[in-house]
Structure 1
Amino acid sequence: MDWDKLRIFHAVADAGSLTHAGDRLNLSQSAVSRQIRGLEEALNTTLFHRHARGLILTEQGELLFDATRSMSKRLDAASARIRDSEDEVFGELRVTTTFGFGTLWLVPRLPKLYERYPGLKIDLMLEERVLDLPMREADVAIRMKEPSQADLIRKRLMTVQMLLYASKEYIDRNGMPSEAEDISNHRLICQHAGSAQVAAGAWLVQHLMSMNPGSLLTVNNYFGVLQGVLNNLGIGVLPDYLVEEFPELVRVLPSIESADVPVFLAYPEELRQSQRISVFRDFVQEEIIAHRKHLRQMGKI
């Protein structure tokens, strides 16, 4: 089977249009069309239904697209491994983690990593959805639970707890609650119990809701909760790794805390030799050690 025709077919199937695929490949629409016709003739089948709004894959086209998509991901992985050098770290590294951990813990530390490896290009994907690492939706993930996918190398980094925090100004103005029932006299800031978050955080929110907080602000990520707390809106449910970055936060009701949330770093087995993954993994582990050391010095752990 002609590899060049398969490459063009994959681009057309992905774009849904001869014109858009031609733009990506720097080919004319007629040249792309000839290649597709040639592939259909070689396979003795129709790969696309053609209509005014574009192209739709036939059942046979779907089968071929599944194959070319898998081939493309494997070629990307092979290319990444080939580009890795023992002496130099450069190129793209696709990292996925949650919105809260990415914005509030990881991004503020990345300048140190770029200082060491200026040729590194990090594509940071922040979302609660678990991306498929074996299918190369990302190269490396930091997740708030142990990955269940097969063929992954995983490293437990640390544990996190969800705790209650407020600003000093809010406490000065509204008083420090002394027992859990005092939540009824305060505004609670948290993620909605049904929003995407770690299970321990959701359970803690449900527990706090049963105490009938006097007012409520729900946000769909921890960055928004933090902004509410820093702007003196109320008592927020936040991960404990913020203590170092925001020392102005005041711990509220220390008897109330979530269960431990394990934090794992994971990447595909096939990228075991990747220099980019190695330096990123080592950097994150170094930063966590420094983070824990600083917390001990602050008397927080």
Structure 2
Amino acid sequence: MDWDKLRIFHAVADAGSLTHAGDTLHLSQSAVSRQVRALEESLNTTLFHRHARGLILTEQGELLFDATRSMSKRLDAAAARIRDSEEEVFGELRVTTTLGFGTLWLAPRLHKLYELHPDLNIDLMLEEKVLDLPMREADAAIRMKEPSQADLIRKRLMSVRIRLFATQNYIDEHGMPETLEDLAKHRLIYQRTESIQVGASSSLTHQLLETEIPSRLMVNNYFGVLQAVLHDLGIGVLPNYVVEEHPELVRVLPDIESEDVPVYLAYPEELRHSKRIQAFRDFVQDEIVDYRKHLRELSA
């Protein structure tokens, strides 16, 4: 059904006159009449009874007018929401990041974002796969390497290091390794080296596996690695941001760590002025500042 013809029909039904509808639409009376007639022909029905005093809707016309009136109200409401969105933050925001970072760092902080913007609906997609932002598979991404896709706004948020951790219970029972070779006496827990987003973790793990370590546990994400470590299963290869939430973890072999792993926020160029994106960006940046401050306090 032709939207333009429906718009003209609605104006005529609302005004009860071809002339008045034409004045509202800035069209001639004949142009309005032609569009209404064409709509009637496409529907194979009569929408108006034509009288000397004006136009009266037929039963079929009343049905269509009810529909266009409902459509008009919904469009007006949408327009108002769009205008409001220039000042307010609401609606769906689809964010993707790795399962480890999303579970261990981002999700525990999201309550602060909801406190600021209670009408925001976040769809948090946690997976190692790199989603296509320009194709709008997600609105924003936090990635553990610089995005290579074109047409993205990218901002480096921070760097993390991959290190070795264990619980004090595990150390008390199995001893603290003093050298890389001592790892042969322990169980090593690490993320699968095929991970797409964290090359530095893979490099460190390959380095560790050059030492013969008979007992190993390989997991496909850092959350699983952390859970195994917390249950005293062995020494885990983990990003340093987990220490903030789990101060009971003890660093093992402090001279061994990965190179810096950059953490980037990225979103499509076309969403540059989105209030939802701006709110999420500002929230993440504020949390990064607090995170760095807390790490400095821990190391002091």
TM-score, scaled to structure 1: 0.71
Residues 84, 274 of structure 1: 8 Å contact kept: no
Shift of 1:87: 2.5
Check the 8 A contact 1:128/1:197 in 2, yes or no. yes
Following superposition, the deviation at residue 161 of structure 1 comes to: 1.0
Residue deviations 1:194-229 (CA, integer Å, cap 9, x gap): 344511111111111111124111111100000000
CA distance in 2, matches of 1:140, 1:221: 21
CA shift at 1:119, angstroms? 0.3
* Deviation at residue 85 of structure 1 after TM alignment: 1.6
**2:119 aligned partner:** 119
Structure 2, gaps ≥5 residues long: 5-78
Structure 2 match to 1:131: 131
> Secondary structure of the equivalent of 1:256?
coil
Give the match for residue 185 of structure 1: 185
User: Matches of 2:277 and 2:182 in 1, distance apart?
Assistant: 47
Structure 1 CA distance, aligned partners of 2:198 and 2:84?
Answer: 34
Native 8 Å contact 1:160 1:240 kept in 2: yes
Q: CA deviation at 1:270?
A: 0.8
For residues 1-301 of structure 1, the aligned pairs below 5 Å read 82=82, 85-299=85-299
CA contact (8 A) 2:191 2:225 kept: yes
Given that 2:144 and 2:197 are in contact with CA atoms closer than 8 Å, whether structure 1 keeps it comes out as no
Report if aligned partners of 1:89, 1:120 keep a CA contact under 8 Å in 2.
Answer: yes
Q: Distance in 1 between matches of 2:174 and 2:265?
A: 40
- What is the rounded CA distance, in whole Å, between the counterparts of 1:235 and 1:270 in structure 2? 44
CA distance in 1, matches of 2:252, 2:184: 14
Contact 1:84 1:276 in 2 (8 A): no
Equivalent position amino acid for 1:185 in 2: K
Give 2:171's aligned amino acid: I
Q: Paired residue for 2:76?
A: none
C-alpha distance in structure 1 between counterparts of 2:198 and 2:83, whole Å:
36
Change (3 A) 1:162 1:113: same
Q: How many residues align?
A: 225
Structure 1 residues 291 and 178, CA gap change in structure 2 (3 angstroms): same
In structure 1, stretches of 5+ residues that fail to align are 5-78
Aligned 8 A contact 1:196 1:220 in 2: no
Question: Displaced runs of 4+ in structure 1, greater than 6 A?
Answer: 1-4
Distance 2:270 2:248 in 1: 44
- Asked if 2 retains the 8 angstrom alpha-carbon contact of 1:84 and 1:275, the reply is no
Structure 1 residues 284 and 148: alpha-carbon distance in aligned structure 2, compared to 1, 3 A threshold = same
**TM-score using structure 2 length:** 0.72
Deviates more, 1:81-90 or 1:230-239: 81-90
Q: Structure 1 residues 2 and 150, CA, compared in 2 at 3 Å: closer, same or farther?
A: farther
2-structure distance, mates of 1:91, 1:239: 32
The percent identity for this pair of structures is: 70
Does the C-alpha gap of structure 1 residues 150 and 3 become closer, same or farther in structure 2, counting only changes over 3 Å?
Answer: farther
User: Structure 1 residues 83, 277: CA separation in 2 closer, same or farther (over 3 Å shift)?
Assistant: farther
Pair member with larger Rg: 2
Does the 8 Å contact 2:143/2:197 carry over to 1? Answer: no
When residues 195 and 279 of structure 1 are mapped into structure 2, their CA distance, relative to the original with a 3 A threshold, is closer
Q: CA deviation at 1:86?
A: 3.1
Whether the aligned pair in 1 keeps the contact of 2:243 and 2:249 (CA below 8 Å) is yes
- In the alignment, which residue of structure 2 is the partner of 1:43? none
- CA distance in 1 between counterparts of 2:292 and 2:114 reads 22
Q: Which whole-Å CA distance do the structure 2 matches of 1:268 and 1:84 have between them? A: 22
What's the offset of the Cα at 1:83? 6.9
1:86 partner letter: E
Kept after mapping to 1: 8 A contact 2:128/2:195: no
2: CA distance, partners of 1:166 / 1:3: 65
Cα deviation digits, residues 148-197 of structure 1 (max 9, x gap): 11111111000111100000100111111111110001000002323445
Cα contact 2:192–2:221 (8 A) shared by 1: no
